[in-house]
Amino acid sequence: MPLDFDNRFVRELPGESLSNQTTEDAGRSPSRQVLGACYSPALPVKPTAPKLLAHASEVADLIGLNDAEVQSEWFLDAFSGRKLLPQMEPFAMCYGGHQFGHWAGQLGDGRAINLGEVINPRGERWMLQLKGAGPTPYSRSADGFAVLRSSVREFLCSEAMHHLGVPTTRALSLVGTGDMVVRDMFYDGRPKREPGAIVCRVAPSFVRFGNFEILGARNDLANLRKLIEYVIRTDFPELVSSHKAIDSECIAAWFREICRRTAEMIVHWMRVGFVHGVMNTDNMSILGLTIDYGPYGWLEDYDPTWTPNTTDAQGRRYCYGQQPQIAYWNLGRLAEAIAPCMEDKAAIEGAMELYVETINTQWQSTMAAKLGLSRWTSDEDSLIESLFELLRATETDMTLFYRLLGTWQVHPSAHEQPAVRVQRILEHFQEAHYRPEERKENYAKRILDWMDRYEARVRQEQGEPTDRRSIMEAVNPKYVLRNYLAQEAIDQAELHGDPSRIMQLLEVLRNPYAEQPGMEQYAKKRPEWARNRPGCSTLSCSS
């Protein structure tokens, strides 16, 4: 067998006792409260007619597989849930979480089944997880399956984020099941049958903040301690030697690292314009990875209050501009959960302060790079705030604006007729504006004023003019997974049975910062037909 399994999670942590049930019975029995355990056995449901629709060759290589093996019958069996490989020990995790700011109690892997952990040829540990393979003890009233549209979005976005340089879980494969799944996309009483699909997700660990919250909420301190020690030794081995006991000081260092990694992830989200859409604590990775791609979206029109999630349309708790604050709040809930295992409570405050410091310092360096500046000065605060106001002044595509700013020619001197200059500016950035004809009368003056300030700052730089563009194009992507692009791939696969657009889009997204001649159609701003179309502008947790 080409995969080398070492299922440490189920070997070292307490699982739900099967009592008189067989593994198969336990894996498919009705949902229930699971006490005194970190996981439950769970088995995938065999699909009727599985078909491999897409795969990421880089992820296959990550776990030690080549493309020929990916195309094999055993691969389709294993990653559709049709058959288990001999060393697989499938399970679903038990966790809780705060959803939209309120404690929701037990949640758990309702439609995710972990197949096991593989050790790749480089000695790295990777968990393999099927999403949409059927019910688990944590499915509550749901069926545990996933539809093609949500699975395409998860598959593509996992890989798109990786190639953008954003910490994320990965996606190995997308498999159509041949079965139909009933979904009410917007919970409005209009369910319909849709084709089912399964994504195999890959990550060093899928442990979330909620894994610790559920044990803390139940005062299950013995298992809380076991889980903390397991995660530190498995995923943060640099914090403790193999023979050293994990004390309060070590746990504090671990929490600091979680805060630091989470801050770095959020800065990356903000840099590329990603909006997660449902930042519940059960959707926060302990490794600082982007996890659970549901009603996400890409900030096209620059609006910090925008959220793609229809469930969040009123409160906008998880909108783009709120993401740094929400991550901080979520870290606070994790801190409350693990606090009984820490003696020095001041260390928690220090870790939370580190989160804020990391966000601030990395955001400053990120914004300096987005503007093509080699360093951050005190003047940049005003310059950037004025820029954000300018982007909000008319409907401006954030991704396109920064790329166009990178191609703007800054002359050695500022001598140019104002009327000529402002016309040159407006023409240069016209492609970034969704409705350029609606720019207000004072917009020309505002963008001229800002460009004067920006160019004056650029002239202070010591490098060559080409350096600015190089700096900017390393952090400002040209290609992002705009929702309408994903929807076009979904439509072609779902309506016409042709999944080729998925792999074509993935190929473009592998090089998001490059120009890629001939692929410019994937860098265009959202077309008007997608402005209000479901799946392009609005999504739900069922999306």
Strand boundaries in 209-344, DSSP class E: 274-275, 297-298
- One of 61, 77, 235, 282 is an active-site residue; which one? 282
Backbone angles phi, psi at 145, to 5 degrees: -95, 170
Angle between the 346-370 and 465-473 helix axes, to the nearest 10 degrees? 130
In the 8-state DSSP scheme, what is residue 497?
S
| Rounded alpha-carbon distances, angstroms, from residue 377 to 159, 382, 390, 434, 458 | 35, 10, 21, 32, 12
The answer for residues whose C-beta is within 8 angstroms of residue 154's C-beta and 6 or more apart is 131, 146, 171, 199, 201, 293, 294
Backbone angles phi, psi at 294, to 5 degrees: -110, -110
Backbone angles phi, psi at 279, to 5 degrees: -80, 50
Sort residue 69 into left (φ over 0), alpha (ψ -120 to 50) or beta: alpha
Please spell the DSSP secondary structure of 379-443, one letter per residue. THHHHHHHHHHHHHHTTBBHHHHHHHHHH----SS--S-HHHHHHHHHHHHGGGBS-GGG--TTH
Instruction: List own/partner pairs for 406-409 with CB under 8 A and 24 or more apart.
Output: 406/372, 406/468, 406/469, 406/472, 406/473, 406/476, 407/469, 408/451, 409/465
Q: Return d(Cα 517, Cα 527) in angstroms, integer.
A: 21
In the 8-state DSSP scheme, what is residue 295?
S
Residue type, 181: V
3-state secondary structure 439-463: CCCCHHHHHHHHHHHHHHHHCCCCC
Element (DSSP H or E) covering residue 2 = none
CB 287 within 8 A of CB 381: no
> ∠132-134-137 over CA atoms, to 5°?
120
Please spell the DSSP secondary structure of 133-188, one letter per residue. B---TT-TTS-SB-BHHHHHHHHHHHHHHHHHT--B-EEEEEEEEEEEEEE-TTSS
6 is known as an active-site residue: no
Q: Return d(Cα 93, Cα 136) in angstroms, integer.
A: 9
| Rounded alpha-carbon distances, angstroms, from residue 98 to 216, 278, 281, 330 | 13, 11, 5, 8
User: Which residues are known to be catalytic?
Assistant: 282
